[in-house]
């Protein structure tokens, strides 16, 4: 017993200080928000549009728009662009409250998620219990959600916990494109939640269908079945992207927003 206590004291404090301090440094290879610079493509060649596997990029004239909800962050568009007008940054802040806010062009600033209002913030701001539903996911988004429960991230210190039953939950955290086999299960799980209830869609699949978009056995994301209150895109989203979205949602970043400026990904 004494050896265990001594070892623990020697290990010191392992949990990140975020959001009371800067977030952890992110790896150089991490690909987060894509950046468009249409001034570099005066001809509007549409190479990026044709290369995108999910139709996340559209072009009207010489103006390109990217749907971050559909984006797989695969860099196929950047590789196809002869003018290098598309790059990827380490900007992990991607969560929004409305689906349409994920559709942006090179002139728009992403409208990050606002906190819950009034009674909901009072109810869930200090204690939020979530039932996680994998609605046909590949387990990548699920794994990054699990990372948040580890010692370094310690999601529980914010009062956010995953529970085993929707009867004990305040809301759902959904991953996966909602396959046909999970459609009814997701609806029943949502119906089992006590009121008031919230829904969080995590990952490109849960937001818009991911690589399975428009597949006859998928439903193009969670909001085709249940109302969604928070969208967190990514394929998969980094744990910091998920945590940032959750903290904004419960109002823990209203008074301060520690942030490492994004860097270009090589």
Domains detected in the chain: 118-249 (3.40.50.12280)
The answer to whether 162 touches 132, Cβ cutoff 8 Å, is yes
Res 25: pLDDT? 85
Cα–Cα distances in Å, from 207 out to 3, 40, 109, 204? 48, 30, 20, 5
Residue 228: both structure tokens together:
């969604």
Q: Is the pTM of this model over 0.95?
A: no
Q: What are phi and psi of 66, to 5 degrees?
A: -120, 135
Most distant pair of Cα atoms in the chain: their distance: 71
Per-residue confidence in pLDDT tens, the chain, 266 aa: 778 778 767 766 678 888 888 888 888 888 899 988 888 877 768 888 899 999 999 988 778 889 999 999 999 999 998 888 899 998 999 999 999 999 998 777 889 999 998 888 888 988 999 999 999 989 999 999 999 999 889 999 999 999 999 999 999 999 999 999 999 999 999 999 999 999 999 999 999 999 999 999 999 999 999 999 999 999 999 999 999 999 999 998 876 777 766 665 55
* C-alpha to C-alpha distance for 199 and 190, rounded to whole angstroms: 9
- In this predicted model, what pLDDT tens digit does every residue of 147-168 receive, in sequence order? 999 988 999 999 999 999 999 9
């Amino acid at each position: 017993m004494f050896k265990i206590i001594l070892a623990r004291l020697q290990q010191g404090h392992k949990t990140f200080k975020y959001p009371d301090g800067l977030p952890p440094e992110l790896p150089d290879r991490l690909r987060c928000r894509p950046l468009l610079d249409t001034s570099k493509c005066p001809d509007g060649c549409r190479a990026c549009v044709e290369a995108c596997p999910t139709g996340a990029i559209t072009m009207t004239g010489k103006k390109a728009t990217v749907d971050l909800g559909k984006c797989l962050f695969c860099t196929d568009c950047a590789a196809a662009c002869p003018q290098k007008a598309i790059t990827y940054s380490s900007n992990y802040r991607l969560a929004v409250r409305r689906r349409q806010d994920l559709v942006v062009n090179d002139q728009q600033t992403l409208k990050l998620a606002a906190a819950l209002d009034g009674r909901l913030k009072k109810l869930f701001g200090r204690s939020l219990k979530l039932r996680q539903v994998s609605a046909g996911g590949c387990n990548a988004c699920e794994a990054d959600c699990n990372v948040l429960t580890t010692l370094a991230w310690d999601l529980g210190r914010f009062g956010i916990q995953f529970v085993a039953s929707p009867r004990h939950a305040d809301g759902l955290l959904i991953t996966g494109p909602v396959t046909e086999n999970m459609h009814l299960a997701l609806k029943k799980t949502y119906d089992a939640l006590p009121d008031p209830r919230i829904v969080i869609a995590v990952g490109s699949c849960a937001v818009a269908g991911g690589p399975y978009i428009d597949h006859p056995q998928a439903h193009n994301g969670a909001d085709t079945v249940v109302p969604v209150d928070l969208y967190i895109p990514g394929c998969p989203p980094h744990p910091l992207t998920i945590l940032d979205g959750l903290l904004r949602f419960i109002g823990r970043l209203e008074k301060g927003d520690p942030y490492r400026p994004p860097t270009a990904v090589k």
